[in-house]
Structure 1
Amino acid sequence: MNIEQIFQSLQKGKISPSKAKKLLSLYSIEKIGSIAQIDTGRKNRKGIPEIILGERKQLLDLKKIIKKTLSKNNEVLVSRIKKKDYSKILEFSKKNKYKIKKGKNTTALLIYKKNIKKTGGKVGIIAAGTSDIGVGEEARLVCESMNCDCLCSYDVGIAGLHRIFPVLKQFVESEVSAIIVVAGMEGALASIVSSIADVPVIGVPTSIGYGYGEKGVAALASMLQSCSLGLTVVNIDNGVGAGAAAANIANRIKTKSTR
C-alpha cells in the first residue's frame, strides 16, 4: 500500500488512525539486505528525494537500490556514478522503462517514472567556468527533482566580469528565489553575485585549481571569508547540497506566495 492508498483507506474508514500511523512509519524506511536502508519518506517529509551516492557502490547493489527506491517513490537521484558503470545504469533504466534526465559533464542521473512537474519555485544557477559545469548540472538535477524550474548560465566567471550582468538581469526579471554560484580557482564570483543580488546566494567551491590552494581549498577559503552578506557556502564540489538548499528556499517562498 503506497502513501496515497493509506490516506484513502483512512478517509474511507477501512483502517484506523493507529493502523495508518504504523503503515506510514513502515513506509518511511526500506531495508535492502545488509546493503542499504532507504529513506523512502524523505520527499514527503522534507521535499528532498532519496539521493544515492554511487561512487563507492558496486553496480549490482546500485541497481538493487534504484529499483527498490522507485518501487516506493517516483524519482531517485544517483550522483557520482562510476564512469565504467554509467552506461550500464542507463541501459538498466531503459530496460525497466524508467525515464532519465542527464547532466552535462557529470555522471549524475535523475531517474523517474512519471514526469516531474515544475510546481515549485525558481532557482538560478551560475557556473564560473566550463570546468565547473558538472557541479552546476548536479545542482540542477537536484532542484528539478524537487519540482523547481532552473535558469542556468555557464562560463560567466570574473575573467570577463561583464558577462555576469545580463545573466543577473534575467534572474531578476524571472524572479528567481535563490541563486547557486559554482566557482573554482579563487571562487570570487560567489561574493560578487551576493553583493548584487537581493536573494539568497549559495556558493559552491569546486576542486578546479592548482598550486597553492589547489583542489578547491582557495575557493572554499575565499567564499568562507567573503564580506558580502547573504552568501552561504557548501563544501567543495557539493552540488547536491547546494541544489537541495536552494530548492528548499525557492519552494518555501512559492508556497507562501500562493497561500
Structure 2
Amino acid sequence: MDLKSILNKLKNNEMDIEAAESDIRSMGYVPVTDIAKIDIFRKHRTGIMEAILAEGKDPHDVVEIAKAQVAASGRVLITRLNDAHREMLQARFSSEELEWDLHSKGVVVHNGTPVSMTGGVVAIITAGTADIDAAEEARMVASEMGCETIAIYDVGVAGFHRLVNEMQVLREKKPDSIVVAAGREGTLPTVVSGLMDVPVIGLPVSTGYGAGAKGEAALLSMLQSCSVLSVVNIDAGFVAGAFAARIANRVSEARNTKSQE
C-alpha cells in the first residue's frame, strides 16, 4: 500500500490513526527474497539515493537487489564490483541497461529512466592518476544525484603549476562544492581549500608506501589541515561524492528560490 492509499483510507474513516501510523512507519523499504531490504525512500528522506555495495556480496544477490531497485526507482548505482559481479550483471541485463565506469569499478543499472538534473555543480580533483579510481566513484555518485560534474585530474603539489593552470576552469564553472582526492602526504585538499571560496571535501586515497602508507598519512594530513575542509575516510569515494552533491543540491535549491523572488 502506498502513502496516498493510506491517507485516503484515513480520510474515508476506513482506517484509524494508529493503524495509519503503523502502515506509514513500515513503508519505505522493499524486501528482496531473504537477503535484503532496499530503502526506496532514502533519496526523498535524506537527499542521497540508495546504492548497492557489491563488495562482499554474492553476484546473484547483487543482481536480485539491482532488479528490485530498478523496478522501484528506475536506476541504481552499484559500487566496488569484482569480475564475478560484472559477468553476472552482463548476463542478466542488456548492454543498454548498464553504464560502466571502469576506473571506479562501478556501474549504473537503469531501465531508461534519466537522472533528474538539479543544477548543482561538483568539481572532482585528484592529486595523481593513482587517485582516479576513488575520485571516479565520487563523480558517479554526484552525477547520479543530479549534479553536473567537472573532473580535473593529476594536478598534485609536486607540480603546482598544473593546478594553477586549472584554476581558471574552476572559477568559470563555479562549482558549489569540490572533492579533492589525494594519497601519499595528502596536501592538495588543503591547498585547494585555501584558494577557493566553496566547501572542500578531502578524500584520502590508499596510495603511498613506508611510514604512513595506505592512505594513513593522507588522512592525518587532511585532518590537521590549516584551511577549513571536511574529510571522509580512506577511499570513501561514495561518501565524498554524496556529501559534495548534497551541498551542491542545497545551494542550487537556494539559488533557484532566490531567482524566483
Task: Please confirm whether the aligned pair reaches a TM-score higher than 0.5, indicating the same fold.
Answer: yes
Task: Output one character per residue of 1:156-214: Cα deviation in whole Å (capped at 9) or x when no partner.
Answer: 11121111123232122111100000011111001100111100000000001111111
Report the equivalent of 1:138.
Answer: 137
Amino acid at match of 2:34: S
Q: CA deviation at 1:27?
A: 4.0
Match of residue 119 from structure 2: 120
Native 8 Å contact 1:181 1:203 kept in 2: yes
Moved more, 109-118 or 249-258: 109-118
Alignment match, 1:238: 236
Partner amino acid, structure 1, of 2:104: T
Q: Which residue is equivalent to 1:203?
A: 202
| Aligned pairs, number | 250
3-state SS, counterpart of residue 160 of structure 1? helix
- The DSSP-based 3-state class of the residue aligned with 1:125 is strand
The 3 A distance-change label for structure 1 pair 205 and 29 is same
Q: 2:217 aligns to what? A: 218
CA contact (8 A) 2:63 2:88 kept: no
> 1:84 Cα shift?
3.0
C-alpha displacement at 1:107, in angstroms? 1.1
Secondary structure at the counterpart of residue 248 of structure 2: helix
Deviation at 1:61, TM superposition (A): 0.7
2:59–2:84 Cα contact (<8 Å) kept: no
**DSSP-derived class of the 1:147 partner:** coil
Partner of 1:254: 252
Name the TM-score, length of structure 1 as normaliser. Answer: 0.89
Separation in structure 1 between the aligned mates of residue 74 and residue 9 of structure 2, nearest angstrom: 25
Counterpart of 2:14 in structure 1 is none
2-side partners of 1:116 and 1:125: how far apart? 19
The 3-state SS of whatever aligns with 1:210 is coil
1:111 aligns with 2:109: yes
Q: Is the 8 A contact 1:127 1:133 kept in 2?
A: yes
Match of residue 185 from structure 1:
184
Asked if 2 retains the 8 angstrom alpha-carbon contact of 1:168 and 1:197, the reply is no
Change (3 A) 1:243 1:20: farther
1:92 CA displacement: 2.4
- CA-based RMSD of the aligned residues comes to 2.1
Q: Kindly provide the amino acid, as one letter, of the partner of residue 192 in structure 1.
A: V
Whether the 8 Å CA contact 1:123–1:176 is kept in 2: the answer is: yes
Measured at CA, do residues 24 and 141 of structure 1 come closer, stay the same or move farther in structure 2, by a change above 3 Å?
Answer: farther
Structure 1 residue 77 and structure 2 residue 80: aligned? no
1:35-114 paired onto structure 2 within 5 Å:
35-94=35-94, 98=97, 100-113=98-111, 114=113
The 3-state SS of whatever aligns with 2:251 is helix
Contact 1:86 1:107 in 2 (8 A): no
Of 113-122 and 211-220, the range deviating more from structure 2: 113-122
Q: Structure 1 unaligned runs (5+)?
A: none
Q: Secondary structure at the match of 1:48?
A: coil
TM-score by length of 2: 0.88
Q: Which has the larger radius of gyration?
A: 2
Task: Give the Cα–Cα distance (whole angstroms) in 2 for the partners of residues 59 and 24 of structure 1.
Answer: 32
Query: Structure 2 regions of 5+ residues with no counterpart?
Result: 12-16
2:155 maps to 1:159: no
Deviation at 1:86, TM superposition (A): 1.7
SS in 1 for 2:181: strand
The CA distance in 2 between the partners of 1:21 and 1:69, in whole Å, is 25
- Amino acid across the alignment from 1:86: R
166-175 vs 245-254, which deviates more? 166-175
Give SS of 2:94's match.
Answer: helix
Question: What is the distance in 1 between the residues matched to 2:196 and 2:110?
Answer: 33
SS at structure 1 position matched to 2:191: helix
Identity of aligned residues (%): 40
- Following superposition, the deviation at residue 32 of structure 1 comes to 2.0
Could you tell me how far apart the structure 2 residues matched to 1:195 and 1:68 are?
44
User: What's the secondary structure of 1:258's corresponding residue?
Assistant: helix
Cα shift readout 1:206-243 (whole Å, capped 9, x = no counterpart): 001111111101110111111112x1100000000000
